[in-house]
């Protein structure tokens, strides 16, 4: 049989049919592999969130019937299609909540900035110095990761309390040290301590990923150290920095243990407020409404994280 006959005997296949089958199979396989964790998150995280949001909008029946029986001062609706923002309006009409919300946001932003500054100082020193001090510093920066938050909170409280270590040492030298126990300052110190290890690991990895050739080329061109940091290192480590800052802000926003142990009675962070409203004041609907407000603020921080991931994917051609 000649080559022409062989060619003529081949049955033409529609374009894309054979090529699309493996890709469809791969997509189906990937979806199947990812479905168990997705279903788990949807069942144990997504569904309770939907129920809680419905309760904050006045739906006190169904799965919310038990908590609504023992709750005080809650807003209710009579039909499933009705929604009420009464819980949120009452919440924002409370001056204490507005103050605590402001303190929570300011503490979150302040801790995030402080953590990123410290992480960048450590990362630059480790990157630009090859001394044993830099190696010891990089190791000490992640030590708080292995200290339980409860123990760290209690240690910070006893260190900065009125009868704590700092005041005792200052008194022996005839000095007066500040009392930061049960203050917002102690909360900032504690949250910085607990958030620094993750941010340091992220920023150090981003700074270490900058090629030596780029830094040396900038120095050969006459760039000073600040110019090298601002024009070469910082842009290439921007995405890890944004990710570290986003996780720090979200973690600080919803923190409970550190503000509960070291913070003042007023103003409080919303993590402590939500617990108090639910257990002490018997106002679960107000507590859930606070959680929704915190979720919305955290979603704003999360949008920055999504932008960072999209920027990273776009720079590598994945999107």
> What is the total residue count of the chain?
319
pLDDT of residue 14: 52
149 has pLDDT over 50: yes
Average pLDDT over residues 210-223: 88
pLDDT of residue 164: 86
Residue 15's pLDDT band (cuts 50, 70, 90): low
- In the structure encoding, which two tokens stand for residue 245, read together? 């800052």
pLDDT of residue 278: 92
pLDDT in tens, 97-107: 999 999 999 99
111 has pLDDT over 80: yes
Average pLDDT over residues 87-113: 95
pLDDT of residue 153: 92
pLDDT in tens, 33-73: 778 888 898 899 899 999 999 999 999 888 888 888 888 88
Distance CA 87, CA 74 (A): 7
pLDDT of residue 10: 47
Please spell the DSSP secondary structure of the chain, one letter per residue.
--HHHHHHHSPP--TTHHHHHHHHHHHHHHHHHHHHHHHHHIIIIIHHHHHHHHHHTT--SGGGHHHHHH-SS----SSTT----HHHHHHHH-HHHHHHHHHHHHHHHHHHHHHHHHHHHHHHHHHH--SHHHHHHHHHTTGGGGS-HHHHHHHHHHHHSTTSHHHHHHHHTT------TTSHHHHHHHHHHHHHHHHHHHHHHHHHTS-HHHHHHHHHTT--HHHHIIIIIHHHTHHHHHHHHHHHHHHHHT--HHHHHHS-SSS--HHHHHHIIIIIS--HHHHHHHHHHHHHHHHHHHHHHHHHHHHHHHHTT--
Q: Whole-number mean pLDDT of the chain?
A: 87
Distance CA 165, CA 48 (A): 44
pLDDT of residue 12: 52
243 has pLDDT over 70: yes
pLDDT of residue 188: 96
Average pLDDT over residues 130-159: 89
Residue 8's pLDDT band (cuts 50, 70, 90): very low
Instruction: Tell the burial category of 277 from Cβ atoms under 10 Å away from its Cβ (0-12, 13-18, 19+).
Output: buried
pLDDT in tens, 247-279: 999 999 989 999 999 999 888 999 999 999 999
- In the structure encoding, which two tokens stand for residue 317, read together? 């051609």
20 has pLDDT over 60: no
Average pLDDT over residues 110-115: 96
pLDDT of residue 7: 47
27 has pLDDT over 90: no
Distance CA 198, CA 187 (A): 18
Greater confidence (163 vs 194) lies with: 194
Average pLDDT over residues 285-314: 88
296 has pLDDT over 60: yes
Distance CA 89, CA 216 (A): 58
pLDDT of residue 22: 61
pLDDT of residue 309: 78
Average pLDDT over residues 70-87: 87
Please spell the DSSP secondary structure of 76-143, one letter per residue.
--SSTT----HHHHHHHH-HHHHHHHHHHHHHHHHHHHHHHHHHHHHHHHHHH--SHHHHHHHHHTTG
Distance CA 181, CA 265 (A): 12
Residue 6's pLDDT band (cuts 50, 70, 90): very low
> Which domains does the chain carry?
33-83 (no CATH), 87-316 (1.10.3720.10)
Distances (CA, A) of 198 to 93, 129, 152, 247: 37, 21, 16, 9
């Amino acid at each position: 049989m000649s080559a022409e006959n062989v060619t003529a005997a081949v049955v033409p296949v529609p374009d894309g049919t054979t090529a699309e089958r493996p890709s469809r199979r791969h997509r189906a396989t990937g979806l199947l592999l990812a479905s168990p964790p997705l279903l788990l998150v949807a069942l144990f995280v997504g569904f309770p969130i939907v129920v809680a949001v419905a309760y904050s909008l006045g739906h006190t029946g169904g799965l919310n019937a038990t908590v609504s029986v023992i709750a005080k001062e809650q807003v209710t609706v009579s039909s499933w299609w009705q929604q009420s923002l009464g819980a949120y309006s009452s919440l924002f009409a409370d001056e204490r909540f507005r103050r605590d919300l402001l303190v929570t946001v300011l503490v979150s932003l302040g801790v995030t900035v402080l953590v990123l500054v410290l992480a960048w100082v450590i990362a630059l020193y480790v990157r630009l110095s090859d001394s044993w001090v830099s190696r010891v510093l990089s190791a000490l920066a992640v030590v708080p990761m292995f200290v339980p938050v409860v123990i760290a909170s209690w240690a910070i409280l006893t260190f900065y309390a009125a009868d704590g270590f700092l005041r005792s040492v200052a008194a022996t030298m005839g000095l007066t040290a500040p009392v930061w126990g049960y203050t917002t300052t102690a909360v900032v110190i504690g949250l910085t301590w607990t958030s620094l290890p993750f941010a340091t690991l992220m920023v150090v990895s981003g700074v270490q990923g900058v090629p030596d050739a780029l830094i040396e080329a900038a120095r050969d061109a006459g760039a000073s150290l600040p110019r090298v940091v601002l024009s070469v290192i910082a842009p290439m480590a921007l995405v890890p920095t944004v990710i570290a800052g986003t996780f720090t802000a979200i973690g600080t926003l919803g923190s409970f243990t550190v503000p509960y142990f070291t913070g003042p009675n007023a103003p409080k962070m919303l993590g402590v407020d939500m617990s108090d409203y639910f257990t002490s004041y018997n106002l679960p609907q107000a507590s859930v409404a606070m959680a929704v407000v915190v979720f919305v603020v955290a979603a704003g921080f999360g949008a920055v994280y999504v932008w960072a991931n999209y920027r990273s994917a776009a720079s590598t051609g994945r999107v």
